[in-house]
Amino acid sequence: MQSSERDILAPKFCPHCAGQLAPKVIDERERLVCQECDFIFYINPKVSAGALIEDEGRVVLVRRGIEPHVGSWTLPAGFTEYGETIEETAIRECREETGLEVELDDLLGVYSVNSDFYGHLVLVLYSAHVVGGELAAGDDASEAGLFAPAELPTDMAFQAHRQALGDWRKTIEESVR
């Protein structure tokens, strides 16, 4: 665990007894351990989900209206809420960011991401298709649009989204051969 991760993401006090947490090597990794009750505080990655929504050979993208990467394009995606399934997250994020109701098709990919802004996270992306709603920017998006493979913007916010779009483009190119 890097010191910046420990400072930003980890608490200083135990959630069980309010004792002081201190670094200790356990299972060959530095972890935070309560000095009073020996509770081990695991710093786990944030989990997020989203979808690559395809509509008539084009993909739905949203322009970010908030940091990080305000003004850049992204697939509709966001963090999973406690008690929410990954699938529910993907569907909710699509509705909130694009105004579209979607049905998930297949698991597209799982990406491990190390973000300067959010820390370590895991992104689960699905392929999806539209079943209702109207395309419109919402929630933390300033714009929403449909893009053909040859029209994809170059200013994508996140590497995992660039990778997923590259994979999507290859699949389309292979299907026309």
* DSSP codes of every residue in 115-152: ETTTEEEEEEEEEEEEEEE-----TTEEEEEEE-GGG-
173 is catalytic: no
CATH code: domain of residue 161? 3.90.79.10
> 29: pLDDT confidence band, cut at 50, 70 and 90?
very high
Of the pLDDT bands very low, low, confident and very high (cuts 50, 70, 90), residue 116 is confident
| Residue 33 CA from chain centroid, whole number | 29
Indicate if 26 and 59 belong to the same structural domain.
no
User: Could you list the residue range(s) of the whole structural domain that residue 10 is in?
Assistant: 3-41
Mean pLDDT of 64-92: 96
pTM: 0.84
Total tally of structural domains belonging to the chain: 2
**Judgement on whether residues 87 and 105 belong to the same structural domain of the protein:** yes
Q: Do residue 17 and residue 97 come from a single domain?
A: no
Specify whether 94 is located in the same domain as 25.
no
Which of the following is catalytic: 143, 151, 173, 174? 143
Which of residues 126 and 120 earns the better pLDDT score?
126
Same domain, yes or no: 71 and 11: no
Same domain for 21 and 71?
no
